[in-house]
Amino acid sequence: MTVEKLADSPPPPQYSPKRWATLGVTLFAVFMDMVDNTVLNVALPAVQRDLNASSSQLEWSVAGYTLAFAAAMITGARLGDQLGRRRIYLIGLGAFVVTSALAGAAVNVEMLIASRILQGAAAALMVPQVLAMLQVDFPKSERPQAMSMYGMSLALGGIGGPLLGGVLLQADLFDLSWRPLFFINVPVGLIALVAAYYLTRESRADSRETFDIRGTLLATVALVSLLYPLIQGRELGWPWWTFALMIACPLLLWLFARYERRVADRGESPIIDPDLLRHRSSLGGLLVAVLFFCGMAYQVVMTVHLQTAEGYSPLRTAVALATFTVGVGIGSAFAPKLMPLGRRVVLMGCAVIAVGMGIVAWTVDRYSGELEWWHLVPGMVISGIGLAMVAGTLLTIVLAKMPRSASGAASSLINTAIQLGAATGVAIVGTVYFTLLEDQHSPVDAAVTGLLTVVGLYVAAGLLAFVLPPGRVDVDGLEPDEDEDAPGDHGPVSGAAVPVATSGAPAGS
């Protein structure tokens, strides 16, 4: 996504009377992305049995989606700005339907992983267009209500993903096991595609910017150089080149930053404008977000452990994990009032979620062999409260020193950080957990160690939060600039709902 303000093409004489119907159709993309971001978690044991998948391949089936989404999201947003948001939305939605069908029809795990990567890239085309179209289609007075519906779609998708997965697996439609989790996107997606074709209208940015293909490739190579050895190194016996790749990752990221600066200095369009990261609040907040959302990999540990070691059904597993959302709801009720406290709220939230996950780890150990889903409720609810405290406040801190015209870019940056954290967390926590299982440790020891690794990630995020500037922050989050009331302006639409509404899953937009 472009990181500078893109002047929207002149708006129509009046806002479309069909704008609320249009919003409902476009929000379906947000809902589908959140569902597909989380739905596979409860099906991992079934996928492993059906496709004879290794633990590393299971990790790729989860991380591949989020990695592709993170790598392509900013480019997808820029494509919408330049080629037309409606056009790119329809292309992305159509591609999402096709890749969902491919994932459901996968004849081997390699085909599933490839389909998931393509599915994530398709989501990166359609999801960023939603906020942009919302800004163009709605007058400023109606945007808060529209944004509330956007946040609700995120929440429902985050909750609905595991629950839908559990219900479909339990039903075992046509003896297809996990495959209906993806096939269901086909008829529903086609209906949404037809509706979007007739209800949405085109908009694009007036300014023409170049596409930073080299920067995108360099950033992707840097990320893969970290994730590939983390996920595959265990199965390959940790050859020397896996460590060399991980060491190369910081160097590649440094080269990426240097390259982006040169692109900006030439007056061209970098994929990430370095000027947006010159403040400690922006860069520090994004780094904390990456580390913090690594902890969401607890879902991989819990879904596999509950089904393989505790004998849970997929639906019962989904119910157990959904209790996290109760905590998110409780935290969301009071977290906005704490946001002005800035760094202190992030520190407290990291401590709260670390304690919550510590309680979950203790519960798994204490009730081994007789673990009921309600045993997990205290730890999961406390963890959800911690997430609600951190996520919205982090977004506020990141936006605090950015001009209002950069809010769209800032929203993309923090959501990219969330996706990167989710993918990296699966690689790190999954490596610890599956290594212990394969080394013949007991399932409960492996699960507890995996969860304690998650606790360590939250503690590390809390320590890193000390780099954030102290003191209070502006709850409006964005410095005002000119033309604030114009239709299609890039006001603070992203809001805390983007990360807060997740139910323990990475945000999808």
Q: Which residue has the higher pLDDT, 509 or 122?
A: 122
Q: What percent of the chain has pLDDT over 70?
A: 86
pLDDT tens track for 208-265 = 667 788 888 998 999 899 999 999 998 888 999 999 999 999 999 999 999 999 998 8
Q: What is the pLDDT of residue 235?
A: 86
Q: What is the DSSP string of 433-486?
A: HHHHHHTT--HHHHHHHHHHHHHHHHHHHHHHGGGS--S---TT-SB--S-TTS
Half-sphere exposure (Cβ direction) of 470: Cα atoms closer than 13 Å: 1
The whole-angstrom separation of Cα 409 and Cα 328 is: 26
Residue 107's pLDDT band, with cuts at 50, 70 and 90, is very high
Q: What is the pLDDT of residue 496?
A: 34
Whether the per-residue pLDDT at 137 is higher than 90: the answer is no
Q: What is the pLDDT of residue 158?
A: 75
The whole-angstrom separation of Cα 331 and Cα 349 is: 10
Whether the per-residue pLDDT at 425 is higher than 60: the answer is yes
Q: What is the pLDDT of residue 407?
A: 57
Q: What is the pLDDT of residue 273?
A: 81
Q: What is the mean pLDDT of the chain?
A: 85
Q: What is the pLDDT of residue 111?
A: 98
| Across 60-66, average pLDDT | 93
Question: Which pair of tokens denotes residue 277?
Answer: 């990261």
Residue 403's pLDDT band, with cuts at 50, 70 and 90, is low
Record: fold of 19-201+269-500: Growth Hormone; Chain: A; (1.20.1250)
pLDDT tens track for 294-323 = 999 999 999 999 999 999 999 999 999 989
Q: What is the pLDDT of residue 405?
A: 55
pTM reported for the whole predicted model:
0.83
Q: What burial letters (b/e) apply to 465-475, b meaning 16+ CB within 10 Å?
A: beebeeeebeb
